[in-house]
Structure 1
Amino acid sequence: MLNQFLRSVVEAGHDWLQRDKPQARDIQTLCSDLMQVKGEATIAALAHDIVSAYYALDAAALDAWFDYLLTECDLNPDQVIDAAQAYKESRAPDSLRMLMQAAEAARQNLFRRINQAQGGTAMLVDMRAKLLAHLKARPEWMCIDLDLRHLLSSWFNRGFLSIRRIDWQTSASILEKIMQYESVHKMHGWDDLRRRLADDRRCYAFFHPALPHEPLIFVEVALVHGLAGSVDNILSKAAEITPPDQRDTAIFYSINDCQAGLRGISFGDFLIKKVVSELQSEATGIVAFSTLSPLPGFRKWIAQECAIKDGDNLADAQREVLLRLETCTSFDDLEPYGPFLKALCAHYLLEVQEDGKPVDPVARFHLRNGAELNRINWFGDRSDNGFNQSFGLLVNYVYDVSSIEKNHEDYVHHGRIAVSDSVRKLQTTLAGALPETMPKTPREKAEE
């Protein structure tokens, strides 16, 4: 019924537009008209036409439209200064209203009106994804992104989101998107998905009313006995289902953002806490909650350290080991370096920082969210991706419900990291964790 009503409003608007402006118009002209008209039907019709026109743009036309949004829909700096001066002198409510209007670029109102069209929200999310992909080459378009991000942050605030459990009864179209958007541990067909939705597994996703068939973010959970240190058993299609009476720990092993156009608008922290609440309400017997997380920046950092001749982070002997590590091509090659790599990983997570926070993005996310850096797992991920990211290391960040808020406050206000004694001890062993005899590189072995 609602869709029929919206269609009738759009059709009425089109009837008026055909009488007033019967010629075909490009997207810039449509936007200019949309910012000027007042009638609801006309606004709906123009917004509908802009959505249709947007999806027909080729690369050159899209660039031209972004340039139009930047130059023709920007705010007027002189008006902002005049309005600010007027408010400074009067502090009157009317002056404040004028200042707020002057400080808002015209494109914000344009985006609000486009958002009224059916499919308008999806279009703006898609548009921001394309905009972000071009910002490196066109940094001046950042002004457009600031306005889009401001509006999307409001429209996608947590109060509008709903959590859904994804299971085998979920629609096929959404299940296909779950497989498509999985980026941490890729799925290889429906059998993979079926195992990840089995009785001892959970998958939860956030949805928004304007995008009811598009997951925004989802998390995959394994219900297991004890703290899992390897993702291989969790991902195996042949893994036995953990009996209900043995499940005491929920392992969050994959968290995936689905919409590139919502990058920088965080849902993950809220999702984890909602899932903890959902699992507690299920009365599943789960008493512990932990992640099994990747280290996406670990090997990149090692490569950077190898390129530094006289760095302060590591001693020369340690840097020599790093150079040899970089020649390893298999997990077998890594075996002699186990104690050193785990100690190095603890050093990386606790000491390698940017702006006073860990440089590793996953660590930064979970620690800010109130988790404890609990355990570093040797060969936790033996996949090619695991090798390339972190030499197979994975991390458990434990969410202790009784200390989440305290950990969060300590981290945010004081930069203190909640860390287990075992990881702290690992960090202190780095200097003495060098192999007793330097292992031969694969090339040296081949030359023997």
Structure 2
Amino acid sequence: MMRTLPSIKRSGLVLNVAAAALGFSRKNDPNISKSVKRGLVPLAEQFFLLVGTIQPGPLFLLNLRVDLGILIARHRDHLPKSSVEALGLLDLIMRDLFATQGSMRFRRIDLSSEDLAAFVLKHERVHQVRGWGDLQRRLGGRQRYCFGLFHMHMPHAPLVFVQTVVTDHLCSNITPILEEETPVVKNPSHIIFYSVSTSNTGLRGLNIASHLLFLTIQRMSSMFPQCKTAATLSPVPGFARWFKAALASGDQQSQTTSDAKNVLQNKDPKLQRSEPLQRSFFNSEQAQRLNMKYGVNQLVLHKWLLKKLSDPAWHRDAELVDNIRDIITAACARYILFERRQDKILDPVANFHLQNGAQVEQINFMADTTPSALISALGMMINYRYCMTSIDVTSVSYKRKSLAAVSPAAARLVWPADSVILDEIERLKDKRNTPLFAKVFRAGEIISARGSLPTAIYFIAYVASLALLFEVRNTEHISLIGPVEYAYIPLTRTHFAKVKRLVSASR
């Protein structure tokens, strides 16, 4: 009946029903619509809205949300379920007050304001500011910029700020950016973001940093229209812990591979594989090289490398660094592309950028040799590139299908160097950006069935006992998928040629 009424009458009826439920009537309240709207807003939200309109109010609410989060985490098991749900609702109400972009202000941060400079000095989270000279380079150096997102009632304290530099190349090391006063680049081509810092943990669960990144890309692109590449130089904070744990376990298998092994052992014997489902971090060439150089047996390579990396001064041994460069770089690529928890990348920084729609562009060895970076990431850093023409596709692919966008150069770290399809993508990269994705298929999961996806060609190759699968569609989307724990038969070289013709024909 309600659906058959005209929209105006229907809304009026709904208003009357809501008013009656709230105890209002048109006789005693002529402004019934305003009363109903006000009555539908929880008292806590009304209070928080009023607090947020005064000068220190937003900061008070952020700090209150931090304390509330600690309270819920500490006493969740001891409180009634209804109380936990009520506190969770309060947390969501405070979060949503900062979710509206109408109260946000985007502007540049420079040395003209002592308060803002002091704020950046105190709240920089990624690369610690080491004195006035360092701060002066970051905020006032040649072709260096800092932008922040401010709440309208917090003009001297940005909620989040980003630091960027304009260059003529894709930066692979953080030291020149932080420690050197670089000359003016006459023909800049790259916008590099090297630090994104959130000033208050009360902003958890919000995408304010993502909003700031896109605003900064837009502003920098208007300032430097000749710059066609926007990328980050980001840390990999969880890599060292994961890699050392994998080496210490001895079997060198990931959580995904371990889960797949358990599933396969309970499946049809035809699906079981005779060899152990494990991923070695050393190929035969690397193992032979380390054996000849250091006399280490192949069976104990993981223990040997773990012992070497446990030495705080390992990075000062130039010969060792040169011999393990490719091993650690490939391991980092596997960690970023394939190590997941509930379909999300383990590394928080990678998860943030991939959700935004960026792609893993380049993995850099010994890019940050500060003590903290060596402890957390073994000195590794990653360039995430933001290609605005394909950012919607890459973002949705990651959020819905757990597909991590990756460049051909990064894909080669987990795929044999001689790859026709990667060669073809790189050859065409100046003409168009072809999305290339990485995905994990678990044991028992159906990848494709005979007769399905007639526009797709699949081909598989083995890396040790790891099976990787490529999917090529004539929609110009090419997917790198792995690890696949099945005994597939690798396709022949003629299939590679067929794939190459397909990609070439789609130009």
TM-score under structure 2 length normalisation: 0.61
The answer to whether the Cα contact below 8 Å between 2:248 and 2:302 also exists between their aligned partners in 1 is no
Give, in whole Å, the separation in 2 of the partners of 1:157 and 1:413. 24
User: Shift of residue 322 of structure 1?
Assistant: 5.3
Deviations 1:135-184 (A, max 9, x none): 43223567425423333323442232111111222x10111001111110
The answer to whether the Cα contact below 8 Å between 1:135 and 1:142 also exists between their aligned partners in 2 is no
- For residue 157 of structure 1, the aligned residue among 93, 100, 109 is 100
User: Shift of residue 311 of structure 1?
Assistant: 6.5
User: Shift of residue 338 of structure 1?
Assistant: 0.9
The answer to whether the Cα contact below 8 Å between 1:250 and 1:286 also exists between their aligned partners in 2 is yes
Q: Secondary structure at the match of 1:168?
A: coil
Q: Secondary structure at the match of 2:106?
A: strand
Change (3 A) 1:148 1:302: same
Deviations 1:383-433 (A, max 9, x none): 11110111101000011122212211222222222111121110236968x
Q: Secondary structure at the match of 2:360?
A: strand
Query: Which amino acid in 2 is paired with 1:273?
Result: F
Query: Which amino acid in 2 is paired with 1:234?
Result: I
Query: Which amino acid in 1 is paired with 2:64?
Result: M
- For residue 246 of structure 2, the aligned residue among 305, 310, 314 is 305
The answer to whether the Cα contact below 8 Å between 1:217 and 1:267 also exists between their aligned partners in 2 is yes
User: Shift of residue 326 of structure 1?
Assistant: 4.0
User: Shift of residue 95 of structure 1?
Assistant: 5.4
Give, in whole Å, the separation in 2 of the partners of 1:222 and 1:143. 45
Q: Secondary structure at the match of 2:236?
A: coil
Is 1:180 aligned to residue 122 of structure 2? yes
Question: How many residue pairs end up in the alignment?
Answer: 339
Query: Which amino acid in 1 is paired with 2:117?
Result: L
Q: Secondary structure at the match of 1:428?
A: coil
The answer to whether the Cα contact below 8 Å between 2:111 and 2:136 also exists between their aligned partners in 1 is yes
- For residue 290 of structure 1, the aligned residue among 231, 234, 249 is 231
- For residue 52 of structure 2, the aligned residue among 115, 123, 126 is 115
Q: Which has the higher strand share?
A: 2
Pairing of 1:280-359 with structure 2 (within 5 A): 280-283=221-224, 285-306=226-247, 308=249, 312-313=253-254, 314-315=278-279, 319-320=302-303, 323-330=306-313, 331-333=315-317, 335=321, 336-359=323-346
Give, in whole Å, the separation in 1 of the partners of 2:98 and 2:411. 42
Give, in whole Å, the separation in 2 of the partners of 1:309 and 1:102. 62
Q: Secondary structure at the match of 2:235?
A: coil
Counterpart of 1:226? 169
Q: Secondary structure at the match of 1:427?
A: coil
Is 1:407 aligned to residue 379 of structure 2? no
Counterpart of 1:422? 409
Q: Secondary structure at the match of 1:211?
A: coil
- For residue 271 of structure 1, the aligned residue among 194, 207, 212 is 212
The answer to whether the Cα contact below 8 Å between 2:61 and 2:94 also exists between their aligned partners in 1 is no
Counterpart of 1:253? 194
User: Shift of residue 259 of structure 1?
Assistant: 1.6
Give, in whole Å, the separation in 2 of the partners of 1:191 and 1:266. 32
User: Shift of residue 291 of structure 1?
Assistant: 0.3
Give, in whole Å, the separation in 2 of the partners of 1:145 and 1:338. 47
Deviation larger for 322-331 or 174-183: 322-331
Give, in whole Å, the separation in 2 of the partners of 1:390 and 1:208. 33
User: Shift of residue 101 of structure 1?
Assistant: 9.5
Query: Which amino acid in 2 is paired with 1:219?
Result: V
**Percent identity, aligned pairs only?**
27
Unmatched runs of 5 consecutive residues or more in structure 1: 1-90, 433-448
Q: Secondary structure at the match of 2:404?
A: coil
Counterpart of 2:178? 235
Unmatched runs of 5 consecutive residues or more in structure 2: 1-12, 23-36, 255-277, 281-298, 417-461, 465-507
User: Shift of residue 306 of structure 1?
Assistant: 4.3
Deviation larger for 129-138 or 156-165: 129-138
Is 1:216 aligned to residue 216 of structure 2? no
The answer to whether the Cα contact below 8 Å between 1:128 and 1:145 also exists between their aligned partners in 2 is no
Counterpart of 2:61? 124
Give, in whole Å, the separation in 1 of the partners of 2:307 and 2:237. 20
- For residue 138 of structure 1, the aligned residue among 67, 72, 75 is 75
Give, in whole Å, the separation in 2 of the partners of 1:233 and 1:407. 31
Q: Secondary structure at the match of 2:325?
A: helix
Deviation larger for 379-388 or 331-340: 331-340
User: Shift of residue 348 of structure 1?
Assistant: 0.4
Counterpart of 1:376? 363
Change (3 A) 1:307 1:157: farther
TM-score under structure 1 length normalisation: 0.69
Q: Secondary structure at the match of 1:221?
A: strand
Deviations 1:53-93 (A, max 9, x none): xxxxxxxxxxxxxxxxxxxxxxxxxxxxxxxxxxxxxx955
Give, in whole Å, the separation in 1 of the partners of 2:241 and 2:38. 46
The answer to whether the Cα contact below 8 Å between 2:65 and 2:94 also exists between their aligned partners in 1 is no
Q: Which has the higher helix share?
A: 1
State the Cα RMSD in Å: 2.8
Counterpart of 1:87? none
Change (3 A) 1:111 1:414: same
Give, in whole Å, the separation in 2 of the partners of 1:105 and 1:303. 49
User: Shift of residue 112 of structure 1?
Assistant: 3.3
Deviations 1:284-306 (A, max 9, x none): 53221110000011112124334
The answer to whether the Cα contact below 8 Å between 2:163 and 2:196 also exists between their aligned partners in 1 is yes
